[in-house]
Amino acid sequence: MLYHSLENNKNLVSFENAVLTGLSSDGGLYIPEYIPMLNPKFIHNISSYDIYTIALTVIKPYIEKSIPEKFLKNIIHDTLNFSFPLKKIHDNIHVLELFHGPTLAFKDIGAQFMAGCLSFFSQKIEKNVTVLVATSGDTGGAVAKGFYNKPGIEVIILYPYNGISSLQEEQITSLGKNIFSLEIDGNFDDCQKMVKKAFLDKEIQQKYVLTSANSINIARWLSQMFYYFSAYRQIIIEEKIDNSIELIFSVPSGNFGNICAGIMSEKMGLPIKFFIASTNINDTIPRFLKTEKYYPLPVKKTISNAMDISDPSNFSRIWYLYKKNIYELRKKFISYKFTDDETIKTINMVWEKYKYMLDPHGAIGYLGLKKYLKKQKVQNDSSTIAIFLETAHPIKFIDEIPSFLRKKIIFPKKLKTFLSKKRKKQKISLSKDFNIFKDWLLKRK
């Protein structure tokens, strides 16, 4: 499998090259040159495979010789070291819990997979590989944890000052060693722009072997397909449903990497009927679907801060996958926005009615799913299974949850151990001026 840039389909690179560079030199995101179809028998018999075999089958065609199968199997085992349970909330509405990893958000999966791939590739490289990453909150922690102490790799994380929760900041800044944190006086889009610019800068390139660990990196992006397949497997096994079932996914979306991995899964043959990209009031994509005009507005702060993004990088992949055709896109895809007020009301309602505690991102996923089902009048249609992704543990966003609900959140054990240790914040504060950042990069060490 080779990859080309979305800006130019003639320049083909290997998986290794695409992972190591993150972004193509023309500034475009990488996309596989074709989408491998899975054998329908494999999908049909999915319940007879374990999750490792499924992950290997799904990802292998994208990697081929870049990583020998023996190593790839190990990377998959290290990545899938926690579960993603699917639970029924009510009617045909299910939640896929993706927060049982080390930093309590779904990004652990992509980060751990990418760390595994990069460790394999870095053995062949003399210089350190520097992972440069902008985070709206959860990527930073997941990448810090996934790459911590990995030989031959250092990580530089840019996060928006006052834009992430205190627990997220703790997860990013407390590790030290090969993990460096930069607090940027700007928002996430500013951080992302600085990272993108650094990749195109000749002087920085001379000094560093740079790669990104944002969801634009194909290793992170593609491994997120694993849990869509896992959800399908669980539905077939647990609910003893036959294979005629189709899934609907509502994905709380910020940079649109997660939902784009779902779209790839569908293109490979997973029976997904429809995608709902649920956003907060940073609603560039809901507006685009209505007006066909892509027009990012300034970022607004919300309580679902991991989605405070108004110019989502991965949307260019989605657009490409639907042939840059709004009618093709609308057949399979809708996007809705929700306010903070609706989010809090939903967290409260779902707790009161179903005793399930949502985090603000999951609540938006739930809202999107409900809205879609209501419009389609398929709330109780038994041939579809409606699933929203719960992308983070509610404890991660406890500051955003109304105080009367906070007491009801069960504290995960992992976190108790984490918080019981006294930790020092190790961070450097910088302005969003690219030249200051560049200077810092060129002068260090």
Q: Binding to ligand PLP (CB under 6 A): which residues in 135-164?
A: 137-138
Report if residue 21 touches ligand PLP, rule: CB under 6 A. Answer: no
**30-32, strands of its sheet edge to edge:** 8-13, 3-5, 30-32
Q: Which is nearer to ligand PLP, 66 or 255 (CB)?
A: 255
Which range of residues in 85-93, 194-202, 251-259, 349-357 is near ligand PLP by CB under 6 A? Answer: 251-259
Instruction: Please tell me the distance from the alpha carbon of residue 314 to that of residue 255, in angstroms, as a whole number.
Output: 6
The CB-of-304 to ligand PLP minimum distance in angstroms stands at 7
- DSSP-derived secondary structure letter, 7: T
One residue of 32, 160, 391, 394 binding ligand PLP per CB under 6 A = 391
Residues serving a catalytic function are 107
Report if residue 215 touches ligand PLP, rule: CB under 6 A. Answer: yes
Backbone angles phi, psi at 422, to 5 degrees: -75, 125
Identify the burial level of 292 via C-beta atoms within 10 angstroms of its C-beta, where 0-12 means exposed, 13-18 middle and 19 or more buried.
Answer: exposed
One residue of 161, 256, 336, 338 binding ligand PLP per CB under 6 A = 256
Report if residue 96 touches ligand PLP, rule: CB under 6 A. Answer: no
Report if residue 340 touches ligand PLP, rule: CB under 6 A. Answer: no
- Whether the Cβ atoms of residue 108 and residue 143 lie closer than 8 Å to each other: no
Residue entry with tokens 């504060």: 429
Q: Which of 400, 337, 329, 333 is nearest to 368 (CA)?
A: 337
The CB-of-53 to ligand PLP minimum distance in angstroms stands at 25
The CB-of-397 to ligand PLP minimum distance in angstroms stands at 8
The CB-of-229 to ligand PLP minimum distance in angstroms stands at 17
The CB-of-362 to ligand PLP minimum distance in angstroms stands at 8
Neighbours of 136 (CB within 10 A): 26
Report if residue 191 touches ligand PLP, rule: CB under 6 A. Answer: no
Q: Which is nearer to ligand PLP, 107 or 337 (CB)?
A: 107
Which range of residues in 18-26, 34-42, 249-257, 349-357 is near ligand PLP by CB under 6 A? Answer: 249-257
Identify the burial level of 293 via C-beta atoms within 10 angstroms of its C-beta, where 0-12 means exposed, 13-18 middle and 19 or more buried.
Answer: exposed
Size of the site for ligand PLP (CB under 6 A): 17
Letter for the amino acid at 320?
Y
One residue of 107, 145, 220, 337 binding ligand PLP per CB under 6 A = 107
Report if residue 214 touches ligand PLP, rule: CB under 6 A. Answer: no
* Rounded (10°) CA dihedral 4, 7, 8, 14: -20
Instruction: Please tell me the distance from the alpha carbon of residue 196 to that of residue 194, in angstroms, as a whole number.
Output: 6
One residue of 178, 223, 230, 255 binding ligand PLP per CB under 6 A = 255
Q: Binding to ligand PLP (CB under 6 A): which residues in 46-85?
A: none
Q: Which is nearer to ligand PLP, 122 or 310 (CB)?
A: 310
Report if residue 305 touches ligand PLP, rule: CB under 6 A. Answer: no
Listed in sequence order, the residues at least 6 apart from 40 whose beta carbon sits closer than 8 Å to its beta carbon are 269
| Residue 313 in tokens | 């990088």
CA end-to-end span of the chain: 37
Q: Say if strands 93-97 and 86-90 run parallel, antiparallel, or are unpaired.
A: antiparallel
One residue of 164, 247, 264, 307 binding ligand PLP per CB under 6 A = 307
Instruction: Please tell me the distance from the alpha carbon of residue 435 to that of residue 440, in angstroms, as a whole number.
Output: 8
Please report the DSSP string for 285-301 in residue order: HHHHHHHS---PPPP--
The CB-of-318 to ligand PLP minimum distance in angstroms stands at 11
Report if residue 253 touches ligand PLP, rule: CB under 6 A. Answer: yes
One residue of 191, 225, 306, 357 binding ligand PLP per CB under 6 A = 306
Letter for the amino acid at 41?
K
Binding site for ligand PLP (CB under 6 A): 105, 107, 137-138, 215, 252-258, 306-307, 361, 391-392
